[in-house]
């Protein structure tokens, strides 16, 4: 019989608890046997002492096994992608149906917005009638029919993580490489994946601002996932500006549909999707190499097969049957729509992505507290890109707001977030590194 006090004591002495001890502790987190005080002490001990590679893997698998682990019987590999968070990041909504069109099956468990970053589930909720809360049976049905489903985690998926995350949030123990890794991967591995690709973002719009810190997280995630039996690779990608030119729930769905229906044929969003998809398809044996995999993703977008899969997923999850054909009819629109002109001529040399993310939050498009009700129509669109030469009076972006006073505040914040200088800055790469 394991004991929470003994496990915490081991950690505080920089000793790694045995696998069966961590399994017991994770089950106790899920069923309430472990108290909040013990959970907080455990998190603090991990935060201060670390667990090492072996302990990190054991904790991740224990948290995975604290609830249900999905199993699949499908004629193709089960794949997924996870992003560490950014602004204008609607990759999941483009990549999942593109992967499905290339022969993969994608049961993507996603989340709500966190801090200044938008959440994939919040974006999907801008589509009327659609539900992301599916029973395991219905999830299986949607994945079989559409090839992909983007859903919220059910209560029995990694319950230890849900409990421990809530405790970490109020005990200043969020910033731990071991706990971050176990939290991310326990949910993903519980989906029964054959392969995973990680989009670790770094820059002004990401949680991580430093490339070396991002590389450290990517390395921990890849090593842990592979040790747990899931073929995993990470790409470190630039987030010094919004990935798509729109931020906000309905506005990002609109951008996704423009990509899926061929109205947008190139750009950062498509490049990141192709790069991530190329890695996944290659690792899963669906492409001969990364370039062939990336080309397959782009072809699936160009010929409409990805849009067809997306439409099938939306309909199967309760959304409009004809959404792909006329999506603009279904998406909510803001009351106040205002272009924000540049006050000077020059080159856009810096964009504070985090500030833009919080601008959307303050418009009502994100949560300050968990119980906030979102305005799914508000946000920013047509955000100018880094390196763009603008003339005085040329639009920097368009604000979508519920009230004029909200648009006024957003305009002030937007101007402060965009730097215009006389000389252009050198262009940076979008894909910065690969791990695994």
Is the distance from CB of 125 to CB of 249 less than 8 angstroms? Answer: yes
- The DSSP output letter for 327 is G
Our separate counts of H helices and E strands in the chain read: 16, 12
Cα torsion 339, 345, 348, 353: sign: negative
- The tens-digit pLDDT sequence of the chain (436 residues) is 578 999 999 999 999 999 999 999 999 999 999 999 999 999 999 999 999 999 999 999 999 999 999 999 999 999 999 998 889 999 999 999 999 999 999 999 987 666 677 789 999 999 999 999 999 899 999 999 999 999 998 888 999 998 998 888 778 787 789 999 999 999 999 999 999 999 999 999 888 889 999 999 999 999 999 999 999 999 999 999 999 999 999 999 999 999 999 999 999 999 999 999 999 999 999 999 999 999 999 999 999 999 999 999 999 999 999 999 999 999 999 999 999 999 999 999 999 999 999 999 999 998 876 677 899 999 999 999 999 999 999 999 999 999 999 999 999 999 999 999 999 988 889 999 999 9
> What is the token pair recorded at 112?
């709500």
**Pairing of the two strands 346-351 and 418-421:** antiparallel
Give the list of residues 6+ apart from residue 350 with CB closer than 8 angstroms, or none.
204, 240, 386, 418, 419, 425
Instruction: List, in sequence order, every residue forming a beta bridge with 235; answer none if it has no partner.
Output: 199, 434
Interior/surface letters 412-431, b for 16+ CB within 10 angstroms, e for the rest: ebbbebbebeeeeeeeeebe
Coil, helix or strand at residue 297: helix
CA neighbor of 100 nearest in space, from 315, 323, 309: 309
Active-site residue numbers? 80-83, 120, 168, 183, 187-188
**Distance between CA 110 and CA 103 in Å, rounded?**
21
**Distance between CA 178 and CA 183 in Å, rounded?**
9
Q: Give this prediction's pTM.
A: 0.93
Cα torsion 106, 107, 113, 116: sign: negative
Is the distance from CB of 39 to CB of 164 less than 8 angstroms? Answer: yes
């Amino acid at each position: 019989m394991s004991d929470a006090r003994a496990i915490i004591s081991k950690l505080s002495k920089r000793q790694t608890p045995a696998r069966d001890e961590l399994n017991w502790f994770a089950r106790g987190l899920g069923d309430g046997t472990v108290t909040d005080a013990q959970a907080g002490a455990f998190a603090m001990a991990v935060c201060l002492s670390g667990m090492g590679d072996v302990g990190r893997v054991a904790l991740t698998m224990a948290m995975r096994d604290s609830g249900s682990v999905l199993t699949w019987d499908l004629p193709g590999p089960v794949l997924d992608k996870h992003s560490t968070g950014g602004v204008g990041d609607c990759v999941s909504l483009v990549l999942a149906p593109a992967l499905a069109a290339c022969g993969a099956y994608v049961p993507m468990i996603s989340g709500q917005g966190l801090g200044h970053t938008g959440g994939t589930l919040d974006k999907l909720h801008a589509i009327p009638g659609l539900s992301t809360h599916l029973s395991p049976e219905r999830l299986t049905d949607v994945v079989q029919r559409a090839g992909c489903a983007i859903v919220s985690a059910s209560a029995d998926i990694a319950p230890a993580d849900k409990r421990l995350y809530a405790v970490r949030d109020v005990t200043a123990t969020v910033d731990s490489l071991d706990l971050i890794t176990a939290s991310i991967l326990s949910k993903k591995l519980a989906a029964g994946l054959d392969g995973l690709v990680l989009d670790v973002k770094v820059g002004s719009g990401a949680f991580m601002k430093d490339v070396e810190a991002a590389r450290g997280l990517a390395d921990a995630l890849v090593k842990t996932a592979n040790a747990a039996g899931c073929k995993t690779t990470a790409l470190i990608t630039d987030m010094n500006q919004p990935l798509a030119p729109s931020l906000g729930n309905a506005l990002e769905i609109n951008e996704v549909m423009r990509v899926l229906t061929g109205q947008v044929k190139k750009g950062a969003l498509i490049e990141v999707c192709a790069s991530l998809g190329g890695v996944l398809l290659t690792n899963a044996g669906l492409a001969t190499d990364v370039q062939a995999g990336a080309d397959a993703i782009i072809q699936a977008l160009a010929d409409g097969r990805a849009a067809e899969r997306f439409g099938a997923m939306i309909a199967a999850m309760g959304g409009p049957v004809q959404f792909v054909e006329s999506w603009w009819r279904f998406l909510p629109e803001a009351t106040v729509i205002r272009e924000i002109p540049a006050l000077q001529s020059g080159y856009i040399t810096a964009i504070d992505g985090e500030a833009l993310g919080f601008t959307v939050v303050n418009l009502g498009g994100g949560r300050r507290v968990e119980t906030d009700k979102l305005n799914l129509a508000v946000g920013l669109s047509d955000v100018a890109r880094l390196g763009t030469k603008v003339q005085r009076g040329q639009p920097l972006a368009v604000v979508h707001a519920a009230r004029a006073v909200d648009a006024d505040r957003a305009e002030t914040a937007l101007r402060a977030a965009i730097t215009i200088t006389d000389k252009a800055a050198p262009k940076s790469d979008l894909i910065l590194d690969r791990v695994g």
